[in-house]
Amino acid sequence: MRRFFSVVVSAAVCVAAEQALARNSTDPVARGQYLVRAAGCVGCHTDTKGKGGAFAGGRAFKTPFGTFFSPNITPDEETGIGSWSAAEFDRAVRRGIRPDGAHLYPVFPYASYAAMKPDDVEAIRAYLFSLAPVRRVNKAHDLSFPFSWRFTLFGWKWLYFDDTPFAPDPARNDEWNRGAYLTRAMAHCGECHTPRTAMGGLDLAKDMAGTVDGPDGELVPNITPDPATGIGDWTVEDLAGLMKTGLKPDFDNVQGAMDEAITFGLKYLSDADLRAISVYILSLPPIKNKVERPK
């Protein structure tokens, strides 16, 4: 908590210095806090509307399959994950498997987190376990058949789950590779910006090309560098600036899930990391896909 307040009251310059420190820190707790922000864990695991505690779960996600409620991931022994071992935590985050062997639903974007470095998962765990436990009993999901059957997830995983760890591309520089890692394994931009198939897997032929079926039915824009239908006319600075401030180059504010991704996480990232993500996104193949509601 003290760290949180000290960040809030510091001048912008100190915040930038602290970010650079946190990113490279040898203290896993500080590094973990930074990565938790990059990966967007807090927004999903906090019931802000119901004034629930941070990471204590209970946030609702309406999907075509029913309503999911995020679980408590504070270190409370009984109602949270306080009794989980480091290996169990890693298996949940990178493999989507609970300690009791049950498969987790992919609303929890572990299909992206699968590419995280084990060290980074451990730092995230160290940070979460450094927080005060919050007692809050998990709420059961409200799903329609057959999605209410956890074991059907096995089929989904077989079709869509790829647990290949992130491998840097030797033909690209460090900035690009850092951006690729942050975009794919951490910030999971594609979980919202890539359309899904009828089974709920990502349609990678339209990687980052936007969808009308975003979270809560939101329209999610095409962020490939296609000049006509994507963000081809944005500069690296425009994109990095959006992630810091929520403002688009035309000074319009982003709303909804994107505003949340920025407010809870992306804006805390170092300028170098926001730049790396932007360089990577703007290097993707442009895909022509106009995202608009059918009239």
Contact residues toward ligand HEC (CB under 6 A) are: 36, 39-41, 44-45, 61, 68, 70-71, 73, 81, 92-93, 98, 104-105, 107-109, 113, 124, 183, 187-189, 191-193, 214-215, 218, 220-221, 223, 231, 239, 242, 248, 254-258, 261, 266, 277, 281
Please tell me the number of Cα atoms within 13 Å of 161 on its side-chain side.
23
Residue 95 C-beta: closest distance to ligand HEC, Å: 11
* Rounded distance between C-alpha atoms, residue 213 and residue 194, angstroms: 10
Nearest Cα residue to 93 out of 163, 155, 18 = 163
Residue 243 C-beta: closest distance to ligand HEC, Å: 6
Which C-beta is closer to ligand HEC: that of 40 or that of 75? 40
Residue 78 C-beta: closest distance to ligand HEC, Å: 12
Residue 162 C-beta: closest distance to ligand HEC, Å: 18
Which C-beta is closer to ligand HEC: that of 71 or that of 286? 71
- Answer yes or no: are the C-beta atoms of 103 and 151 closer than 8 Å: yes
Residue 262 C-beta: closest distance to ligand HEC, Å: 9
Which C-beta is closer to ligand HEC: that of 68 or that of 156? 68
* Rounded distance between C-alpha atoms, residue 90 and residue 271, angstroms: 28
Residue 29 C-beta: closest distance to ligand HEC, Å: 14
Contacts of 51 (CB under 8 A, 6+ apart): none
Which C-beta is closer to ligand HEC: that of 4 or that of 170? 4
Which C-beta is closer to ligand HEC: that of 44 or that of 202? 44
* Rounded distance between C-alpha atoms, residue 99 and residue 92, angstroms: 8
Which C-beta is closer to ligand HEC: that of 39 or that of 115? 39
Which C-beta is closer to ligand HEC: that of 18 or that of 153? 153
- Answer yes or no: are the C-beta atoms of 58 and 139 closer than 8 Å: yes
Residue 97 C-beta: closest distance to ligand HEC, Å: 9
Nearest Cα residue to 16 out of 294, 244, 283, 282 = 244
* Rounded distance between C-alpha atoms, residue 214 and residue 196, angstroms: 9
Nearest Cα residue to 240 out of 264, 205, 272 = 272
**Phi-psi category of residue 210: left, alpha or beta, with phi > 0 → left and psi -120 to 50 → alpha:** left
